[in-house]
Every structure is written in C-alpha cells, then in structure tokens.
Amino acid sequence: MFWKFFFLSAALILSISFSATVLWVSTRRWSDPNTVRWIATHRTYVQITVQIISTIVGGSQVFIINSIITFSTNIRLSSRPTTLDTLQLRHAATVGMLGVDLPRSKILLSLFWLGVIQVPSLLWTGSITPVVTTSDFSTTFQIPDYNESTYAFWGRQCPPAVPCDDLLGTTSELGTFTYVAWKTLTGLLVNSVEQASSHDASTPQYQKLDNTGFTYHGRSYGVASTVGLVEPERSKANAKATILNYTYLENGYSADVSCSYNKSSRLAFYTSDMVTTPGGIYAPQGFWAQGSLPNGVWAGFPTWGVLNSDFVTALAAVRSPSEYMYGFVAGKSYGALNQTQCEVTFRPASFKVAVDMSTKNVSVTKTHVSAQSQLDIDPTGGLANVSFHGVSFLSQTLTTLYTSVLGDSFLQNIENVRRRNGHLQGTVSDAITGIEQGLELLLDHFLGSSGAGQAMLQNGTKKVDTTMTLEVVRFGNPNIAYTAFGMTLVVVIATVAEAIRTRMWTGLPIVDFLDLKSAIVGVAKDTGLAPQAVKDWSGDAGDRSIGELEMVMNNETNSLGFR
C-alpha cells in the first residue's frame, strides 16, 4: 500500500515541478549562436530527446489519473456491487486498451478515453520542442553627432590646393574615413555615379563607401553611415547573439536636385596659354572655367585639355543665402552635360533605417520632412555646405588632358536612364534625370562620408533608440505551455478533490481487483478449491508467492484453473 501512495506522490511532484519549469522556460529566449546552430542542424536528436521527455512526463500524469480510477473502483467494490462490464471498462482505461467486448456505448467511451490519455504527451511535446525563431529587443545605436566642439572638422571647407592634412583622416580594415571625400575617396565616388540610375525597373543598389560590405537599397540620404562600423548595444545575455536585423530613426537631409537646360548659361571656358610641344602634337591647352549662375558669381578654376576643350568638363557650384545651384560647362564630347543648371535643396528630414544583417542590405525610408529646427542636424549649414561644394571640387580633380572622368561617369548614367526608358536615342528627359540622380547620389555619399568620419575619427556619436531582432531558440509554444500547465492543475485538483472525498482513500482495500492477477486469485480464494498459497493470500498484488502459481485453461468448460 505504501508504494502505491509513494509513486502517486512522486508523479504529482514531477508533474507540478515540470509544469512550472516549462511555463517559465516558455517565456525565455536563448540567443547563444552555438546553441542555435546545434539545434538547427541536429533536429533528429532533438526530436528524439523531446519525445522521450514528453512521454515520461505525460505518462506520469496518466499514471495519476489511473491511480485515482483504481482507488475509487476498489473502494466502491467494498461497499456496493459493480457490473463486470464496468470493471472491464475501468480495467481497459487503466491499461490503455480498447474494450472491444464491451457494450457499444462503453466501447465509444473506451475509445474516447484512449484519445484523452494521449493528450498529456502531445501537449508536453509542443511545450518543450525547441524552435529556432526570432525575438525583438529594444536597445540603442550610435549615429553621428555633429556637435559644436568638432565643427572645425565636419563643418570646414577644404578646397583643392589648400593644405588641410588634419581633415584627411585615416585608413583601417573597415575602410578610409575622412572629412575630405573628394580627395581621398575619389575613385569610389566617381565609380558610383555610373550606377546612380538603374538600367531597368529595379531599385538601384549602392555600395557603402567602406569595407563593411553593406549595400544601400535605394538612396541613403547620407544617413546610416555608422552601419557596419558599430553595432547596436547588447546586454550580457545576448552579447554573442546573431543579429538578423535592426531598425532605428535618424535625422538628416533630403538633398534633392532639380535640373534644366539654360541655353543662355553664363558659364564658359576661357582660353589661356598653350604649351608648345614638338610638332604641336597633343599640345596641352589651358582653360579657365568660370562665369555665373542665377544665384551668384562662380570664381571657377583652371584646367587643361589637348588642343581644345572638347574633352573638358567643369561643375560650377554657387551658394547664396537662400539657394544652392550647380552648373555644368562642358566640351563637345559632353554635350549632354553642357549648359545644365541644377537647383539643390537640403531639407531636414527624419529617416527610418532598416538593416538586414544576413544580406547586408540597408534600406532608408523618408518618414517626415520639415523645416522645423528639431529635425535639423546642423542649423549652421556647414555640413550641407561641405557636401555641396565637395561635388564641385571632385570635378576639378577628375579632368585630365585627355578626358573628364566625372563627365564620362555622368554620360554612362544617362545611358542607364535611356535603357530603362526604352529609348533608341537619348532624350533631354533622359539626360536631365541621369544628371539629377547622379548629383543626388554624390551628395548622399558626401553627407555619409562626413557622418562616418565623425564617428570613426572624432568618436562623435549619440545614441538613438533601436529595435534589434536576434536569432534565438524558444522552447515550445507559450500557448501550448499554458494549456499544459492548465491540464496539470486539473489533474492536481482532481486528485486533491478525490482525496478529500474519500478522506484520503479511507477504506481502500489492499487488494486491487483491476489488476488481473489479483482479480483471479481473489475470486478463486472463495471457491475452497484453490491451492494453499491462494487461501493464505493477503490481497497484496506484489505477493511473490502467488506470482509463481501456474494457470491452465480447460477447453471443455472454457475456464481457468490452477495447475
């Protein structure tokens, strides 16, 4: 009798403690990358382990229910008669088999019960099966901070032929970081112009101008410059977790360019001296590109060409108190650029940055544009001024005796637009669009270069709120875990209620008539024809003296007897 209550108590303790543990575990997330990787690649072993555990715990709860049925049946037998069909039904329930020889109604009840006792194991399987999933965490991310103390770096102009070594920056494994992008990132900038516009309907992709390998899906607007250079802040719990993606808001400038042709442009090349060469072959011809735009005078700069200005391109940049304007003056080989004038607006805006770490893709979406001061990251205008003039300085460095590298890049981008629009011949609209998108990309890159330089050279950053998605392991489904916990409570409450009803099973006989051996011996004991061991049996199913007795069937009478 002791062992019956001992195992019942042990099953209750196991069920309650395991349920509480699973309920707690279901609310937790494990982000260790080694754990995540092992579970993802060893699903067979994981599932076998889960099945073993769920079978043990589910079996313990079925054992509790069977014990209640057994106890109540034996107590009932000692007080009032019970039909053999009822005993057979309860026996079938406790051993987990279908009573096919029962009346139809009891067969259905037996079948229903077989389904019920499968539920615990199934619920525990769903409660503890580990699943590789994602989880969002609120944290912070470092973005550039254009503070007054470092204005001499990010807000200072560095025109060509002017020494400014303190702005050149440095190169590391992550890339080259500088405040003079037109000088130190020349090749990257000019190559990017060739791909400013996509040649089909797809969104253009722009490589980030560092060694992090990230790509902008569409315009960057000069924000997200610290992506790949710094990571979102982590807690100790997820310090090694795999970041899948993160999003945050960053204020910046929407640098928009609007261009048109001005046939009465006042920009021109003025001839200076020609260098004498033997026979006049490839004689360098000096030019001074200068003039004015509608918003002011452009001082210009000197440049060279072979014999004439056919392969020369210059980009004028004039800033007045209220306007930013560009103007192209170009030779015959760059006729699509010549006499183009563009107005640039720097509008303070808020952007949503979405970073996909698996594909190293960065998407920047404009969320709000306003002239209000709270969105303006630099009310002095220094940052916009450096970026605006930097594009013009780039044209000074990229005109050689034989070609204009910047001009060639813009022509290639115009060709991209023509192909995208399906035109056999380039149109004015194709040229204008190609120029606008090329200039916008350069402005974005210059703004982004200043941001990256500020973070990497001056440690000039500030924190913004970020939502970070990590790859984690979750054990089971929380809803199923709560259901399993509820099932455990029902089992425990039913056990306690039955214990109270029967006054802790007072009157429970030692004999268990739902046990086959006990039932046979118990019936035979009253016949007077049983062996002495049967007559002396105390009713304990664990009595080994009767366990060794042999039974034999009488085929004529269809009865069992002791041998």
Q: What share of the chain is helix, strand, coil (3-state, %, to 5)?
A: 45, 25, 30
Residues of the chain with pLDDT under 50: none
Cβ atoms of 179 and 457 closer than 8 Å: yes
Predicted pLDDT at 81: 81
DSSP notation for 542-560: T-HHHHT--EEEETTTTEE
Return left, alpha or beta for 168; rule: phi > 0 is left, psi -120 to 50 is alpha, else beta: alpha
Predicted pLDDT at 94: 80
Q: What is the pLDDT of residues 305-349, one digit of tens each?
A: 776 678 889 999 999 988 999 999 998 999 999 999 999 999 999
The number of C-alpha atoms within 13 Å of 416 and in the hemisphere containing its C-beta is: 25
Strands 242-261 and 340-356 come out as antiparallel
d(CA 258, CA 437): 9
- Determine the straight-line distance between the first and last CA of the chain, rounded to whole angstroms: 29
Which tokens sit at 310?
């056919």
Q: What is the pLDDT of residues 504-524, one digit of tens each?
A: 777 677 766 677 777 777 777
Cβ atoms of 176 and 169 closer than 8 Å: yes
Which tokens sit at 398?
């990229």
Predicted pLDDT at 198: 93
